[in-house]
Amino acid sequence: MTKSPIGGNRSGRKLGQKVKKGKLKASSRRWLERHINDPYVQRAQLEGYRARAAFKLLEIDEKHKILAGAKRIIDLGAAPGSWSQIAAKVTNSTDADPRVAAIDFLEMDGVPGVRFLQMDFLDPEAPEKLMQAIGGTPDLVLSDMAAPTTGHRQTDHLRTMHLCEVAAHFAVDVLAEGGHFLAKTFQGGTERDLLSMLKQNFRQVIHVKPASSRAESVEMFLLAKGFKGRQKAGRETETEEEAAE
C-alpha cells in the first residue's frame, strides 16, 4: 500500500528548513525551500526513486490497478525516469528482455530494463521507434508529458492538452485489448472531442488527482481503462452512427 507521508517523513531529515538568502531570487528561494521540505521528495530519495512523481503513479495504481498484469509499458515524457523505474519492476523487464520503452526530448540516465529514446514524441518517427523498442504490444501507455510553461495559464493548458491528445491517439493505435492509458492534463477543461474519442475506445474514462500531486498544482491525470480493441471499438462507433441516422 502506498501511504502518504503526511504527518512526518521517513528520511530523518528535519522539515521546515530555510534557504539562506544569498544571491537567489525570492521566487527561486521559495521553490528550493518547498522542494527540500517536501516529504514526497524526501521519501523518493529514501526509496530510490528519481522523482516524487513516482508516488503519483503508485497512488493511482493503488486504487485503479492499472499496473497489475502489465507485460509491456510505454512511458511518454519519461525523464527523469521514476515512472520507468516502476514500469520496469512490474513487468520484470531486463536489458536482455526489455519490456519498457520510454521517450523524452530531455536527457535521462539509463534505467535497467528500459529502452530509452531521446527525441520529441511529436517527431513523426517516434511512434514507430517506440514500438520497435518495446518489441511487442503494450498493455499500458503512460504520459507525464507537459509543454514548457509560459506563465499564461490558458496557453499552458492548450499546449499540454495537445500533447495529451496526441498521446491518446497513439494509445488507441497501439494498446492491447483491455489495456489502459494514463496521461497528465491540466485543470481547465478537457476537450470534448478527446473525451468522446476515449469513451468510444475505453470502458471507463475518469479524471484523478492523487494526494502526492501538490494541492496548488493545476495538474490532473486523465485515466482511460479497459481498451475495447480497435475492431470492436470501430464496430460500436459504426452502430452508433447508424442509430443516429
Query: Which domains are assigned to the chain?
Result: 1-48 (no CATH), 53-244 (3.40.50.150)
Other CB atoms within 10 A of residue 2 CB: 16
Q: Give me 73's grid cell.
A: 509499458
pTM above 0.75, yes or no: yes
**pLDDT average, residue stretch 28-36:** 46
Q: What is the mean pLDDT of the chain?
A: 81
3-state secondary structure 177-211: CCCEEEEEEECCCCCHHHHHHHHHHEEEEEEECCC
Cell 482511460: give the residue.
224
**pLDDT average, residue stretch 77-105:** 97
What is the β-pairing status of strands 114-118 and 180-186? unpaired
d(CA 67, CA 108): 23
Does the active-site annotation cover 184? yes
Residue 26 pLDDT more than 60?
no
Lowest mean pLDDT of 72-86, 133-147, 214-228, name the range.
214-228
Lowest mean pLDDT of 25-29, 81-85, 214-218, name the range.
25-29
User: Annotated catalytic residue: which of 21, 63, 184, 225?
Assistant: 184
Q: Is 244 helix (H, G, I), strand (E, B) or coil?
A: helix
What's the Cα-to-Cα distance from 181 to each of 61, 84, 114, 147, 168, rounded to whole Å? Answer: 12, 15, 19, 19, 7
**pLDDT average, residue stretch 128-156:** 90
